[in-house]
Chains A and B, each alone.
Chain A
Amino acid sequence: MPPLLEVGGLGKRFGGFVALEGIDLAVDSGERLGLIGPNGSGKSTLVNCLCGALHHDSGNITFDGRAIDSLPAYQRTRLGLARSFQLPKPFRSLNLIDNLRVPLLYTVNARHGARLSDGAISERCMALLDDVGLADKATRLPRDLTQVEMRKLELARAVASAPRLLFADETMAGLSPSEVEEILLVLVRLNEQGLTIVLIEHIMRAVMSFSTRLVVLVAGQKIADGAPQEAIRNPEVERAYLGE
């Protein structure tokens, strides 16, 4: 079976600064891919390029057999490529249900096939909130949420678009160990339900336990790609994290 996401020779520069160079990547359907690297290594730039928030300068991106290089971000989401943001970006003036209603109306209802009725959409919003344990705050505004709840909302919103692949961008940064566990459980459950997940994280414990494969990015280049235990033992990876 061909990979769900195929990236060939992806490059991105900002003026004279090379953020990404020659990135090759393949993500199979159902995988749990971990993406790690020191700060500034280009992880977020890679996610932005793949999701369409930034335009890549070179290389190609294929999703589900289709070249998506020229597609704007919203169309990539409709095709099934979703992302959560590193710093949660909720719709501040909308309550939690409406926060989820937006992607439902604009992705699920924008695809071919049966459109959901208003009632069905509301039901699905509540179900999504329930999945992440936010059902009791459904009518509240994002400003009433705690940090970890905002992260969960962010995840729920990404999942609301019924994606095939999810980029979870530093979802657990700054959380306590038990909160990290909470989020991990949600992610594992989503994966078991068929969602391919790329986890971008700094928390090594979480990445190592979650990932079936690990990709390491340093200074805009991929330096390791394989089973987590082996990728970690790669001398270049050690050097990048621990210094010479």
Chain B
Amino acid sequence: MANYKFAKEKLAKVLSGLSDFKVLAPALTGDVARFQEVTDPAQVTLDYGNSNVPPKELMFPETETLFKYRLGQDEVEASVPSPEEKRVIFGIRPCDAQAYSIVDNLFRWDFNDPYFLNRRESTALVGLACADPCANCFCPSVGGGPASEEYLDAVMFDLGDAVYLKTLTDKGEGVAEALSGVLEAAGGDEKKAADKQAKDALGKIQRSIDTAGIPEKLPSLYDHPFWEQFSDRCLGCGICTYLCPTCHCFDIQDESEAFDARRARMWDTCMFAEYSLHTSGHNPRPTRKERTRNRISHKYSYFPEKFDVIACVGCGRCINYCPVNIDILDILEKSKEAEAKEAKTA
């Protein structure tokens, strides 16, 4: 694959050059960056840490129509996105791209989910390596890194005045081709600067966890009281799951306006009581203790048991936005301490 660059001041021109694509990029509203379809290239920013809302909504919208129908009739019309629509997510962080690849496992598990997978197929991921990781980032602990290229089609490094762009797949090269009049060839200097930036960024990561043994050992702590240290504080707001790029749970509801109806799915969270509540009134996860345990166990034990990969990319959002400072790394460290103590007394 090839190496390119463009002057940072020409960012708007680069984005305009992608007129054949639906371009999705981080745009500022006030000082909040959120991925959205680019209508005005001037709004797009490459100077952001991690977007508050992860770009999972670009593959798995907060609410989406599964099919439409008319009340009183039996015919339904599927609302599946076309796999042919050309989309590019411009400036996605490596961790958020890794999250897509993790959730792929689930949406391909025996039944292919055409809504998620068609969007995946039609979308090129042009990543943006992190030069300054956030305070709670721990991507290297869970298989990623601030400049990880593994899950991207192309990666950009913000080198100050210039942006270095390296294509990694045919899909990424397709995006670069569309920009042939705008991109210039990059040389050894840019590559050297990018390598240095990646190395420096890795050194700036402040938090970490050794995940060895966690997936195997967590189930043995099912009844352990340590969960309550965290669940007693939990407000049950669900923000840790809504803003998690790998959380994929959804509800399905029928909605109608007059006779126009749809079946839609919408993000849901295991942190809500209604999520697992039976019609009988019985709830297998009746308190926040069971729900906190399920959230952590799902990410660090149940998901890896099934798909051989931890369902966490270390983006730090659940830590950053928890209103009562519940910290997933703290929970995992405490689980290891609890397990070690149990093993000693056993």
A and B together in one complex: no
Using a CB–CB distance below 8 Å, which chain B residues touch chain A?
Answer: none
